[in-house]
Chain A
């Protein structure tokens, strides 16, 4: 799943706070880079679509949270280097 504005996958950006699978139900906790970002619905919809298409789960529960607030430090090291850190 690629962030449509930054062109980087959401895991490398640190936007996936948690993923748990129990009894073929996936619970995903996500964030956006700012609460003013209108792409939350799009991102959760895509996460749901991709996980269901993988066939490993029958149901996906996804939430957007802003606690803790996302910071650029949460990005993966390789992503930081790509952005010139």
Chain B
């Protein structure tokens, strides 16, 4: 195995980890994400008014949080942790998964919200570190998505009702996805004009998010 010889983050040793090691470290995270997914889907069925049993009183109310932050937040931050390859980066999916499960099992509300908030902070730091390795617009866009994730549970901790968090929760997903699409689109010879248009749309989206928070409900 060739080991690191360059500056920090420049050379990452290729996979020397055994499958069992990978499963041991990542399976619990993925399991938590899966629990959030199933609970979120169940909550969705309740929201649709289907005659399914109510297992946990707040499952329907927490449907969006469980799906976006509990499930997708865990999976997306797990992806970033795997790409960075630093043990501390796995705190993001660990906090996100634990936060989702904490909300599901109706621990004191603050617990899940704080864990989700902590997960977003670690994810932002992951993006900062990745950006230092290779600065790029798509990384800044995805990091903006992580900031949206941070705002949502922060407002929730401040007592805001869940429906008013929806723009920020959606902002996390939208900015993460368009950041990933932008990264892939680089192979197709992006023109300066197309990047300008992309930035303009992203800025309008960001301004819209802020306005949803400052506007009266």
Are B2 and A36 neighbours in the complex by a CB distance under 8 Å? no
Tell me if B212 is interfacial: C-beta within 8 Å of chain A.
no
Tell me if B58 is interfacial: C-beta within 8 Å of chain A.
no
Known: A34-B139, A63-B2, A63-B14. A72 touches B187 (CB 8 A): yes
Tell me if A75 is interfacial: C-beta within 8 Å of chain B.
yes
Are A44 and B15 neighbours in the complex by a CB distance under 8 Å? yes
Give the A-B contact count at a CB cut-off of 8 A. 92
Are A6 and B184 neighbours in the complex by a CB distance under 8 Å? yes
Are A63 and B12 neighbours in the complex by a CB distance under 8 Å? yes
Pick from A27, A32, A44, A66: contact of B9, CB under 8 Å: A66
Interface-lining segment among B37-45, B76-84, B193-201: B76-84
Tell me the complex Cα distance, A15–B111, Å: 43
A35 contacts across to B, CB distance below 8 A = 9, 83-84, 130, 133-134
Q: Which of A30-68 contact B (CB under 8 A)?
A: 30, 32-38, 40-41, 44-45, 48, 61-67
Q: Interface size on B (CB < 8 Å)? A: 32
Known: A6-B184, A36-B139, A69-B134. A83 touches B83 (CB 8 A): no
Are A38 and B184 neighbours in the complex by a CB distance under 8 Å? no
Are A66 and B14 neighbours in the complex by a CB distance under 8 Å? no
For residue A7, give the distance in angstroms from its CB to the closest CB of chain B. Answer: 11
A80 contacts across to B, CB distance below 8 A = 189
Are B83 and A40 neighbours in the complex by a CB distance under 8 Å? yes
B84 contacts across to A, CB distance below 8 A = 35-36
For residue A22, give the distance in angstroms from its CB to the closest CB of chain B. Answer: 13
A69 contacts across to B, CB distance below 8 A = 134
Interface residues on A, range: 20 to 34
Tell me if A5 is interfacial: C-beta within 8 Å of chain B.
yes
Tell me the complex Cα distance, A48–B80, Å: 23
For residue A36, give the distance in angstroms from its CB to the closest CB of chain B. Answer: 5
A32 contacts across to B, CB distance below 8 A = 83
Closest to A85 in B: B189
Closest to A65 in B: B11
Closest to B138 in A: A34
Q: Which of B147-191 contact A (CB under 8 A)?
A: 183-184, 186-189
For residue A75, give the distance in angstroms from its CB to the closest CB of chain B. Answer: 7
- With A30-B14, A36-B83, A41-B82 already in contact, 20 other A-B pairs whose C-beta atoms are closer than 8 Å: A6-B184, A33-B183, A35-B9, A36-B127, A41-B14, A45-B14, A61-B1, A61-B2, A61-B14, A62-B2, A63-B2, A63-B13, A65-B10, A66-B134, A67-B7, A67-B11, A72-B189, A79-B187, A83-B188, A84-B188
Interface residues of A (CB under 8 A from B): 5-6, 13, 27, 30, 32-38, 40-41, 44-45, 48, 61-67, 69, 72, 75, 79-80, 83-85
Pairs A–B under 8 Å by Cβ, sample size 26? A5-B184, A32-B83, A33-B183, A33-B186, A35-B83, A36-B80, A36-B84, A36-B130, A37-B83, A38-B79, A38-B82, A40-B12, A40-B85, A41-B14, A41-B17, A61-B1, A61-B14, A63-B13, A65-B11, A65-B12, A66-B9, A66-B134, A67-B10, A75-B187, A83-B187, A83-B188
